[in-house]
């Protein structure tokens, strides 16, 4: 932990709940490693107090802050400007204070792309199947569409939520064809036959419900399919165990979490987060 002085600048996390967050440890480790005079704190903001919290960060001249559930969409109305990808995604997870103007960004999707690229996975011109239609799915699907994916098929139990995301992509990114489908394993099996990547953007399989998966067996997977699960606790979900049995390459959500934080860090400080150090110090204890 860096030594707080009279000159130390504030950054932090706004959301509810946030006591479980790894972000303070991640950013403070990076600040200390690079000798930066900043501190990162987690602020639990009760419903109804978001506007006051955002105004407080501006008043206290914070360098910026992260926003997590349930405020990623609501925070937009209290910002001065937002990036293009945040506008299309419809949510913000990172805010930079530029001389009193609060600018919103979304680093979730780019964080996922960085983790894919780190694994050497090609997505440009490919068909991608995504299960889930929450905030993470929206950010990942939109960023993949921006970055050259040819087709996205989005499955979700509540079809209308998937349709909202698909409508936004089809309206804003003409180079990508998107479709929404209700959750049905037989239909999912057919759609992944010619897909390059299958992404789980749900919480199914996350601790403590580690015996659950978005699919019932490894038989619906083919060995050329790359499997990405945005969950990182447990390290290997039931879905990823199925992927291993089917001979598929795969990744969990750990590097997405680290990369989205690293991108926020760069937005605030202009410096690269020491990603390898963060992985060892924060996540591999």
Pairing of strands 94-98, 64-67: antiparallel
State the average pLDDT for the chain.
94
* Domain 9-106+257-283 = CATH 3.40.50.12280: no
**Among 20-29, 104-113, 159-168, 185-194, which is the least confidently predicted range?**
20-29
**DSSP string covering 128-181:** EEEE--SHHHHHHHHHHHHTT-SEEEEEESSHHHHHHHHHHHHHH-TTSEEEEE
pLDDT surpassing 60 at residue 2: no
Q: Specify the 3-state DSSP secondary structure of 256.
A: helix
> Does pLDDT of 234 surpass 70?
yes
Q: How far is CA 191 from CA 61, 73, 127, 246, in A?
A: 49, 30, 9, 17
Quick one: pLDDT at residue 161? 94
Q: Compute the average pLDDT of residues 13-34.
A: 92
Query: What's the mean pLDDT in 183-211?
Result: 95
Q: Indicate the pLDDT class of residue 243, thresholds 50, 70 and 90.
A: very high
**What average pLDDT score do residues 34-50 get?**
96
Which two three-digit tokens encode residue 225? 């399919």
Q: Which of 3.40.50.620, 3.40.50.720, 3.40.30.10, 3.40.640.10 is the CATH number of 122-248?
A: 3.40.50.720
Contact 7, 15 (CB under 8 A): no
Are the beta carbons of 273 and 261 closer than 8 angstroms?
Answer: yes
pLDDT at 1 over 70: no
Within 8 A by CB and 6+ apart from 104, the residues are: 75, 76, 79, 81, 82, 83, 86, 92, 94, 95
- CA 183 to CA 166: how far, in whole Å? 15
Among 173-182, 202-211, 213-222, whose mean pLDDT is lowest? 202-211
pLDDT at 284: 75
In the chain, helix, strand, coil percent, each to 5? 40, 20, 40
- Three-state helix/strand/coil letters over 17-45: CCCCCCHHHHHHHHHHHHCCCEEEEEEEC
Q: What is residue 208's predicted lDDT score, i.e. its pLDDT?
A: 86
List, for residues 127-181, the tens digit of each pLDDT value. 999 999 988 899 999 999 999 999 999 999 999 999 999 999 999 999 999 999 9
What pTM does this model have?
0.87
Note the pLDDT of residue 85. 84
- Which of the residues are catalytic? 72
For the stretch 88-135, pLDDT in tens is: 888 899 999 999 999 999 999 999 999 999 999 999 999 999 999 988
User: Tokens in use for 81?
Assistant: 């400007």
Q: Where are the CATH 3.40.50.720 domain residues in the chain? A: 122-248
Confidence of residue 248 (pLDDT cuts 50, 70, 90): very high
* pLDDT at res. 3: 79
């Amino acid at each position: 932990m860096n030594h707080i002085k009279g000159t130390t600048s504030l950054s932090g996390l706004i959301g509810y709940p946030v006591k479980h967050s790894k972000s303070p440890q991640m950013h403070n480790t990076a600040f200390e490693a690079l000798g930066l005079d900043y501190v990162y704190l987690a602020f639990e903001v009760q419903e109804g107090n978001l506007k006051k919290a955002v105004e407080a960060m501006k008043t206290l001249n914070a360098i910026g802050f992260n926003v997590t559930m349930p405020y990623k969409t609501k925070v937009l109305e209290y910002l001065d400007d937002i990036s293009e990808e945040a506008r299309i995604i419809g949510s913000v997870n990172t805010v930079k204070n530029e001389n009193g103007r609060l600018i919103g960004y979304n680093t979730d999707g780019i964080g996922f792309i960085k983790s894919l690229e780190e694994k050497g996975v090609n997505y440009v011109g490919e068909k991608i199947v995504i299960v889930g239609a929450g905030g993470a799915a929206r950010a990942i699907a939109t960023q993949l569409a921006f970055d050259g994916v040819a087709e996205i098929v989005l499955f979700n139990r509540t079809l209308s939520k998937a349709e909202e995301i698909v409508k936004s992509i089809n309206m804003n990114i003409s180079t990508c064809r998107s479709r929404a489908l209700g959750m049905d394993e037989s239909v999912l099996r057919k759609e992944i036959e010619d897909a390059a990547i299958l992404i789980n953007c749900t919480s199914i399989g996350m601790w403590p419900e580690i015996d659950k998966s978005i699919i019932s067996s490894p038989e619906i997977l083919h060995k050329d399919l790359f499997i990405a699960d945005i969950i990182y606790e447990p390290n290997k979900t039931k879905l990823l165990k199925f992927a291993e049995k089917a001979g598929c390459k795969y990744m969990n959500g750990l590097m997405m979490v680290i990369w989205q934080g690293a991108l926020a860090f760069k937005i605030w400080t202009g410096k690269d987060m020491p990603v390898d150090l963060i992985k060892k110090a924060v996540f591999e204890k």
